[in-house]
Structure formats: C-alpha cells, structure tokens
DNA sequence: GCATAGAAAATTTGATCACAAACTCTTGCT
DNA sequence: AGCAAGAGTTTGTGATCAAATTTTCTATGC
C-alpha cells in the first residue's frame, strides 16, 4: 500500500503520514464541505488504503482542530458558528501580528523576493478566478513570512487555527468568486520593503479583517434562510 | 479491557480516551522524566491494555505537543532546550495575559471564591513540600481563571504549551524543593478582587517570569556539567 | 397518522498477527 | 584498537477480524 499520486517524496513515509498530509491539504484548501460527516471506512476506501492508517491520521487531525469529533464518536469537517469565528479571528490577530513583527527583524532581500513571487502567483489566481490557487497562495504568503520569525511553536498554533476555517472560506469564495477579493499582500510587501512595523501590522490586520468580513457577511446571509 | 483505577466516570469512555487522559496527566504533572523514551508496547504493558488504544492516544498526544516524535519514528517525553523554552514563555506571556484580561471581565464573586480555595490548597502543598500538589494547584488556578474568558480555542492552545514544560518543571521543583517557591497567586487574587487589569497582568507576568527564571537557572547549571 | 420498540445495517473500537524499519550487539577484518 | 558488515532483537506500521456502539430502517400498537 503506497498511495503514490504525484511526484511527492513519499518513499519511506508511512501511509498514515501520507493520509494525514493529503487530508489536511483537502481540509485546508476546501476539498470538503463544512460540516460534512466523514467515516474511517469511507475515507479509507476513497483514498485506496486500509482503515488503520486513516484512523491514525484522523486522530491526529482531530487533535489539530482540522476535524471535529462529536460525542457520538462520529467525525466531521469543521463547521464554525459565529461565536467560534470571532474567537479564531481574535486569536489570529493576536498571534499573527506577533509573528509578523518577529519575522520582520530577520527578513532579508531574498525573503522579500520569495514573497513577491508568491504574490505574483496570487495575482494570476485572482485574475483567472482560481479559488484554490488563491487560497494556496494566501497560505504560502502568510506562512513563509511567519517562518522567518523562527517561532516554530507559535507557527504551529496558528496553523491549527487556519485549518478550522479552511472549508468555510472555500465555500464563501466559491459563492462570491475572486472578483471582489482585494489583494492586501501588496500593502504588506510595501511595509516589509520599508521595514515599517506599524504599516505591516496595519496591512495584516486589514487582511485578517477582510476575511472576517467575508465570513460575517456570509453568516448573516445564512441566518436569514 | 476497562482500565478502572479510581472513582472516575470511565463507563462508556473508550480505552484510548482513558489512556490519553492518564498519560496526559502523568506528562503534565511530572510522572515522566524529560527526554525519556517510551514505546507503544511498553506503555501498553504498563497500563495493562493492548497496543491499539495506546497507539491512538500517543498519536493524539504527539499532535498536542505532549510527546515528541523523532525522525526514526521513536517517541519520547518532551525535553526542551533553551531556545524552545524562550519561545514557549514568550507565547505564554502573549496568550495568558490576553486570556486573563478577558476572564476578568466575566469574573463574579463565586469565581473568586473558587480561585481562593485553589490557592489555599496550593499553600498546603507548598508547606508540606508536595511538588505534584503544587503543580496541580497551579494548573487548576491558571486554567480555572482562563476558563472564565470563554475563549475555548485560545485555552486549548495554551494547554498545548503547558504539556511541553510539565516534565521539565517537575524535575526542577523536585531538585530545588518547594521552599523557595513564592506564591504569586495571592498577588493575582488581589488584582482580581479589585478588578485591576494592570495589576493582574503584572502578577501574571511575574508568575510566568518566576517559572522561566527557574528553568533558566537550571539550564545554565546543566550546561556547566 | 404517529410514536415507539425492535431488528438490521453501518461504524467505531479493540485485539492479534505479519511485516518492515530501526536499533544493538557481535563478529570479523584491516 | 578501530571500524564495518551482519545477525538478532526491538519497535513501529499495516491488515484483518470480532465485539461494542450507534444509527437507520421497519413494523407494530395506540
């Protein structure tokens, strides 16, 4: 049982680890609908592996907030209500502003170039209406920046926040399209180039607030139905 | 296979969940030496259960930072170096100050009484030199306070920080005893009673700094050997 | 008609075994 | 002596099956 799909370095990697990575990506970038119920057998069959590796991967994903475990032992894709969303966003603001500030101190020219390249890819995705491409680019931009902070522990905590709203964001973007998505990364890039921490914080908060705004809007629409 | 030990409500709770709780407690309050290697078979035999539930519990504990997974697939109790400790402590300051501030707004008289009671238990533990009792009391005090913030997500993140230094703290307390442990909780309690957020932040930062100081001291001693 | 109890199906959970990877200790060579 | 190769042991990984739990379906009574 090898689960070879792409040109990934899956040699020597346990199946449960491969399953974990695959499921996490799908959750993070919207391969599942929020609230969708999943079963061990179902996932195992879908991925073409036995139940055992799926069990370990799912157990891990639950611990990372990427899956929800209910009292009746059933598992589902996270479906965040308004209260939880507020919590996630306030946590994001707290942690990501801190990470960006720390990152700014270690940032060199090469890093800025990398971020510039990612932003270019985001532009392409926005122009072509590639929702998943935008989400991947957005993720890469944020976490490449944060990786410069060398605060591995904080980064892991923030990743465990992102997986919670991934499915939901995809749903929203899928409905509204990428047209009215403003690219806040350019503002952040300018701040990075000029080493302006206040401007960076401002850009980041605007970026986070934009996502929050989308979700609030969508939730209030959903409430009316 | 039931694993009934105390008067715990273990009826209907899966074995892997019981194993998880038991191991987490031991890690958090110093039942293992930092860096100690553990094996699935070993833990299973020790706890009197089969390997399967241990596997699931261990996978979950790894995801929660309560256990370390190494490149060779072996698992061990967290052994934090100086760099990681700095990271954990700066994260603690950031998150716990926020949680305490939010909690202060929702705190009522009954909550303060509960915290007072916990502090009394901490006093007893300190007087009798009961290291584990002190650690449990300290944990309860902090997390009862934070629970008033209703920020479940942030609380979970902070819990995933605490499990990382549990084994190490126990080692340090075990060496130096409880005699020179100053009780910073009284200072926090006063701040809570007078609803003084600045004083609360100050008390909390002092408490966190004290723990940090202990660890730094211990690490610098270890370096000399 | 609707609620409810029981049967049937689906799902999680726990146990056991075979296999593969990693580690350890020994042996043999230079 | 020091190092490398190899056998044996330990440990993680994956597969399969039985048991327990939960859900869904069905039929029966009021």
Residue A147 lies in a domain: yes
Residue A5 lies in a domain: no
Same domain, B172 and B88: yes
Residue B6 has pLDDT above 80, yes or no: no
Residue A6 lies in a domain: no
Q: Positive or negative CA dihedral for A44, A48, A50, A53?
A: negative
ipTM of the complex: 0.92
Residue A10 lies in a domain: no
pLDDT of residue A212: 85
pLDDT of residue A2: 45
DSSP chain A: -----SS---TT--HHHHHHHHHHHHHHTTSS-TT-EE-HHHHHHHHTS-HHHHHHHHHHHHHTTSSEE-TTS-EE-----HHHHHHHHHHHHHHHHHHHHHHHHH--HHHHHHHHHHHHHHHHHHHHT-HHHHHHHHHHHHHHHHHTTT-HHHHHHHHHHHHHHHHHHHHHHHHH-STT---THHHHHHHHHTT-HHHHHHHHHHHHHHHHHHHHHHHHHHHH-
Q: Is A48 on the interface with B (CB under 8 A)?
A: no
Residue A141 lies in a domain: yes
Same domain, B119 and B211: yes
pLDDT of residue A223: 58
Same domain, B37 and B109: no
Structure tokens at B15: 């074995």
Same domain, B93 and B166: yes
If you average pLDDT over every residue of chain A, what do you get?
91
Q: Is B160 on the interface with A (CB under 8 A)?
A: yes
Quote the pTM value.
0.92
Chain A residues close to B93, C-beta within 8 Å: none
Q: Which residues touch strand D (CB under 7 A)?
A: A 1, 14-16, 49-53, 56, 72-74; B 12, 38-42, 51-52, 55, 73-75
Show the domain range for B48.
15-76
Number of compact structural domains in chain A: 2
pLDDT of residue A222: 67
Q: Phi/psi of residue A38, each to 5°?
A: -125, 150
* Nucleotide of closest approach to A37 (CA, C1'): C11
CA dist list (Å): B100 to A93, B66, B96, B118, B170: 17, 23, 6, 17, 24
Among B76, B95, B125, identify where a domain stops. B76
Same domain, B138 and B31: no
Same domain, B129 and B209: yes
Q: Give residue A157's Cα distance to chain centre.
A: 12
pLDDT of residue B73: 95
- pLDDT tens, A149-163? 999 999 999 999 999
pLDDT of residue B156: 97
Give the CATH number, domain containing residue B34. 1.10.10.10
The proportion of chain A whose per-residue pLDDT surpasses 90, expressed as a percent, equals: 77
- Test B157 with A64 for CB contact under 8 angstroms: no
Among A24, A42, A76, identify where a domain stops. A76
The residue that leads in pLDDT, B126 or B222, is B126
Determine the residue of chain A that is closest to B61 in CA distance.
A63
Q: State how far the Cα of A205 lies from the Cα of A97, in Å rounded to an integer.
A: 8
β-pairing verdict for B37-38 and A68-69: unpaired
Q: Nearest Cβ partner of A59 from B60, B65, B160?
A: B60
Q: State how far the Cα of A39 lies from the Cα of A23, in Å rounded to an integer.
A: 13
- pLDDT tens, B41-98? 999 999 999 999 999 999 999 999 999 999 999 999 999 888 899 999 999 999 999 9
Residues 133-152 of A with CB under 8 A from B: 151-152
Q: State how far the Cα of A101 lies from the Cα of A95, in Å rounded to an integer.
A: 10
Q: What is the mean pLDDT of residues B169-195?
A: 87
Give the CATH number, domain containing residue B207. 1.20.120.530
Q: State how far the Cα of A48 lies from the Cα of A4, in Å rounded to an integer.
A: 10
Structure tokens at A51: 């139940």
Chain A residues close to B73, C-beta within 8 Å: 14
Among A32, A50, A76, identify where a domain stops. A76
Q: State how far the Cα of A25 lies from the Cα of A11, in Å rounded to an integer.
A: 19
Q: Give the distance from residue A7's alpha carbon to the nearest chain B alpha carbon, in angstroms.
A: 22
Residue B9 lies in a domain: no
Same domain, B112 and B50: no
Same domain, A157 and A172: yes
Q: What is the mean pLDDT of residues A190-203?
A: 95
* Residue closest to A136 by CA, chosen among A8, A40, A24, A214: A24
Helix axes B82-106, A152-176, angle to 10 degrees: 60
Same domain, B200 and B95: yes
A121 Cβ partners below 8 Å, 6+ apart? A133, A137
If you average pLDDT over every residue of chain B, what do you get?
91
Q: Is B70 on the interface with A (CB under 8 A)?
A: no
Same domain, A87 and A180: yes
Task: Give the CA B50 to C1' C16 distance in Å.
Answer: 10
Q: State how far the Cα of B59 lies from the Cα of B71, in Å rounded to an integer.
A: 15
The residue that leads in pLDDT, B171 or A63, is A63
Same domain, B131 and B27: no
* Nucleotide of closest approach to A14 (CA, C1'): D13
Residue A225 has pLDDT above 60, yes or no: no
Chain B residues close to A161, C-beta within 8 Å: 153
In this prediction, residue A143 has a pLDDT band, given cuts at 50, 70 and 90, of very high
Q: What is the mean pLDDT of residues A2-23?
A: 76
Structure tokens at B91: 């994260």
SS3 at position B38: strand
Structure tokens at A127: 């122009």
Asked whether the beta carbons of B47 and B22 are under 8 A apart, the reply is yes
* Nucleotide of closest approach to A3 (CA, C1'): D14
Residue A163 lies in a domain: yes
Task: Give the CA A76 to C1' C6 distance in Å.
Answer: 29
Same domain, B150 and B204: yes
Radius of gyration of chain B (CA): 18
Structure tokens at B128: 């009798």
Residue A1 lies in a domain: no
């Amino acid at each position: 049982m090898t689960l070879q799909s792409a040109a990934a370095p899956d040699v020597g990697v346990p199946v449960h680890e491969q399953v974990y990575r695959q499921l996490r990506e799908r959750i993070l970038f919207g391969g599942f609908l929020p609230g969708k119920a999943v079963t061990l057998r179902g996932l195992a069959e879908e991925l073409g592996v036995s139940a055992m590796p799926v069990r370990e991967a799912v157990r891990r994903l639950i611990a990372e907030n990427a899956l929800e475990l209910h009292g009746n032992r059933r598992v589902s894709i996270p479906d965040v209500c308004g209260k939880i969303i507020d919590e996630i966003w306030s946590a994001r603001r707290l942690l990501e502003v801190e990470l960006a500030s720390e990152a700014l101190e270690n940032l060199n020219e090469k890093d800025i170039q990398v971020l510039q390249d990612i932003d270019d890819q985001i532009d392409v995705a926005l122009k072509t209406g590639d929702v998943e491409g935008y989400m991947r680019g957005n993720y890469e931009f944020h976490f490449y920046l944060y990786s410069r902070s060398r605060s591995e522990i904080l980064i892991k905590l923030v990743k465990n926040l992102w997986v919670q709203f991934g499915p939901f964001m995809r749903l929203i973007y899928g409905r509204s399209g990428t047209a009215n998505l403003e690219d806040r990364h350019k503002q952040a890039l300018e701040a990075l180039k000029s080493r302006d921490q206040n401007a960076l914080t401002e850009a980041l908060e605007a970026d986070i607030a934009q996502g929050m705004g989308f979700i609030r809007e969508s939730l209030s629409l959903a409430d009316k139905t």
